[in-house]
């Protein structure tokens, strides 16, 4: 996903190099891509992960967990879906509470106890309440926009420098500068994503009053990942930013820097502190 985004930024840089006098058109194109991403990214993600909506009769346990969390949080009930995958995970999408969809995989439903499932659903519902899909969409777009604005500024500076500026150098330098800006924005967006995951864990623990159940679910899901065939994890990996827990997680410092989720240790440590605050084991 990072390389695709980088390619997108370089592509826009090339457009600016070609359309020097039409940078406003490039801004319009970038804005159009943002609108498409904003309105359809959740649907594309749900479709790509094979989510299918289910009725209370088809999935009574899942609907029951969603109903209980909605009652506790005083939220409207989202659409409920199941993804036919042995990867134990869950995700939520939607720009608002009205368009939200909460999905659990068959692997998750088969492995978790009711209290653990409720903790996972509370985590995903907190993403909906905090409008994290909107937050992350805007954050990612701001990174692209930042690179775009740097290029516009740089071109303006080059144009003021006179006619002796080598156009070929400009075409080479501007995409490189924009790519560097995008790298920084990418890292900041990943930092924001990790913060939102910790925030969702905290909200779920306080809402249910059972941090230990969420900690148990986290431990169980992460531990079960090692038993899932690598090919299935590879299919799920592109959607790590949506998942309750990443399909692959790295213990290396660089991997942590690029990760969309905090480490398991960080999440369990926070839940342990919340347990002490609530006076529960």
The Cα–Cα gap between 44 and 65 comes to: 25
The Cα–Cα gap between 195 and 229 comes to: 29
- Please name which of 222, 249, 267 lies closest in space to residue 87, comparing C-alpha atoms: 222
130 annotated ligand binder = no
63 annotated ligand binder = no
Give me the sheet containing 51-53, strands edge to edge.
51-53, 79-83, 101-105, 90-93
Cα dihedral sign for 207, 211, 216, 222?
A: positive
Q: Tell me, yes or no, if 97 is annotated catalytic.
A: no
Cβ pair 278, 213 in contact under 8 A: no
Catalytic residue (one of 115, 118, 124, 237): 124
Which residues line the annotated binding site for Zn(2+)? Answer: 123, 127, 197
Which residues line the annotated binding site? Answer: 123, 127, 197
Task: Indicate which residues carry an active-site annotation.
Answer: 124
């Amino acid at each position: 996903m990072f390389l695709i985004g980088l390619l997108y930024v370089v592509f826009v840089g090339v457009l600016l190099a070609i359309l020097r006098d039409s940078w406003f058109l490039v801004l319009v194109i970038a804005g159009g891509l943002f609108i498409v991403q904003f309105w359809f990214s959740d649907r594309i993600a749900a479709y790509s992960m094979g989510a299918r909506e289910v009725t209370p009769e088809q999935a009574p346990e899942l609907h029951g967990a969603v109903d209980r969390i909605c009652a506790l949080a005083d939220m409207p009930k989202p659409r409920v879906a199941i993804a036919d995958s042995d990867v134990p995970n869950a995700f939520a999408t939607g720009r608002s509470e009205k368009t939200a969809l909460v999905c659990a995989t068959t692997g998750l439903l088969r492995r978790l106890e009711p209290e653990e499932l409720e903790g996972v659903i509370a985590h995903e519902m907190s993403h909906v309440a905090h409008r994290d899909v909107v937050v992350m969409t805007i954050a990612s777009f701001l990174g692209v926009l930042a690179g775009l604005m740097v290029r516009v500024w740089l071109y303006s500076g080059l144009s003021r420098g006179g006619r002796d500026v080598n156009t070929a150098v400009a075409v080479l330098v501007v995409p490189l500068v924009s790519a560097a800006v995008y790298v920084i924005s990418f890292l900041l967006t990943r930092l924001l994503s990790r913060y939102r995951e910790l925030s969702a864990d905290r909200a779920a623990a306080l809402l249910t009053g059972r941090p230990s159940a969420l900690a148990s679910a986290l431990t169980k899901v992460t531990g079960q990942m090692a038993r899932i065939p690598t090919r299935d994890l590879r299919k799920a990996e592109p959607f790590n930013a949506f998942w309750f827990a990443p399909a692959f997680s790295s213990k290396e410092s660089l991997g942590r820097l690029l990760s969309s989720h905090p480490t398991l240790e960080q999440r369990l440590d926070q839940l342990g502190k919340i347990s002490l605050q609530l006076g529960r084991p």
